[in-house]
Amino acid sequence: MQKRLNELKIIAETKIKSAHDLNTLKELKVKFLGKKGELTSVLRGMGGLSPEERPQVGALANEIRNRLESLISSKTEELEEEKLEKQLREQTVDVTLPGLPLTVGAIHPLQAIWEQMEDIFIGMGFEVAEGPEVETDKYNFEMLNFLKEHPARDMQDSFYINPEILLRTHTSSVQPRTMLAKEGEVPVRIICPGKVYRRDSDDATHSHQFMQIEGLVVDRGVSMSELKGVLLTFIQKMFGKETEIRLRPSFFPFTEPSVEIDIYDPQKGWLEILGAGMVHPRVLEKSGYNPEHYTGFAFGTGIERIAMLKYGIDDIRHFYNNDLRFLRQFQSE
């Protein structure tokens, strides 16, 4: 039996030493040392040995097991190291190869104008206020002094969900919400940017959905000259500090007096850019501000309109088509 064990040892040693990969090594471990392996099967015959022989054979079998186990583990280490080295050799990075081009996105021109306008007004002490796009008749029309028969209230001009609820037609609905929340506290100095919806047919200058920024200031002693100063500052920061403006009389239900503001373009002449006015006393009153004590001014413009004037864009639909040839022109903005 000792002879059989020594033979087994020599065969196993030779095979382990000449193994070329980790899988073969695993198989050899099972073959020689596993539960159904060759060493175990030789040891099963120990029952037939004399009591003197048994400890000697047992000791030899243990010695062989230990020897084979340590041989397998050192060979495993050796093969793993070889495998790793091979991998490292094959995976060397050639740092001289050209890199993959990175595609860099650009801020959408409407987003850029939105952020620029926010920055300018925040710089003049305004806060940004937001409200829902699905609005009630109360905040979209009633609180802003639109009479019941005003054409904007017509089902044909606005997207109604039911007779009381519609998609807001201007961000002016945010202002009465903010004023009511302030419960008569002053100053109110807010801008309201956001999407608005009108039931228009889309063409080069109209879209059923566009973006506005409207602003509102309410305090004691707010005047038309402050309105003009704030809006001239905004316009000159947006279009250049030499830009000239003019004010024309206009009409909005929520302001009295109302004006439209034009900027002067040497090639195109006067271009309308903003609507504005002193907040109508009835509008102040409805939102909890006594018009005997407080006055206010408000203004509004389309973000698309500002972007079209600033970048010389002639069709509003360019903003929504996501044509990369158009959008890439704003890469460095």
- State the binding site for Mg(2+): 256
Question: Going along 174-312, which residue ranges are E strands?
Answer: 188-197, 209-219, 245-252, 255-265, 269-279, 295-302
Instruction: Determine the interface stretch with ligand 2U9 among 2-10, 31-39, 59-67, 171-179 (rule: CB under 6 A).
Output: 171-179
Residue selected from 279, 306, 308, 316 as contacting ligand 2U9 according to rule CB under 6 A: 279
In the chain, the N- to C-terminal Cα span, in Å, equals: 88
- Under the binding rule (CB under 6 A), the answer on residue 300 touching ligand 2U9 is yes
Residue selected from 110, 190, 283, 307 as contacting ligand 2U9 according to rule CB under 6 A: 283
Site string for ligand 2U9, 242-261 (x = CB under 6 A): ----------x-xx------
Nearest alpha-carbon partner for 234 in 117, 318, 127, 316: 117
CB of 125 to ligand 2U9, least distance (A): 18
Cβ atoms 277, 256 nearer than 8 A: yes
Site string for ligand 2U9, 116-155 (x = CB under 6 A): ----------------------------x-----------
Residue 162's H or E segment, with its range, is: strand 160-162
Tokens of 193: 């940017």
CB of 98 to ligand 2U9, least distance (A): 48
Residue selected from 158, 172, 207, 295 as contacting ligand 2U9 according to rule CB under 6 A: 172
Nearest alpha-carbon partner for 309 in 284, 274, 282, 257: 274
Place of tokens 């300018």: 120
Instruction: Determine the interface stretch with ligand 2U9 among 106-114, 146-154, 157-165, 210-218 (rule: CB under 6 A).
Output: 210-218
**C-alpha count within 13 angstroms, C-beta hemisphere, residue 81:** 6
Instruction: Determine the interface stretch with ligand 2U9 among 76-84, 93-101, 237-245, 299-307 (rule: CB under 6 A).
Output: 299-307
State the helix-helix crossing angle for 303-311 and 109-123, rounded to 10 degrees.
Answer: 100
Q: Which is nearer to ligand 2U9, 37 or 296 (CB)?
A: 296
CA dihedral (52, 57, 60, 66) positive or negative: negative
- List, as residue ranges, the binding site: 256
**Which parts of this chain interact with ligand 2U9 (CB under 6 A)?**
144, 170, 172, 175-176, 212, 214, 216, 252, 254-255, 275-277, 279, 283, 298-302
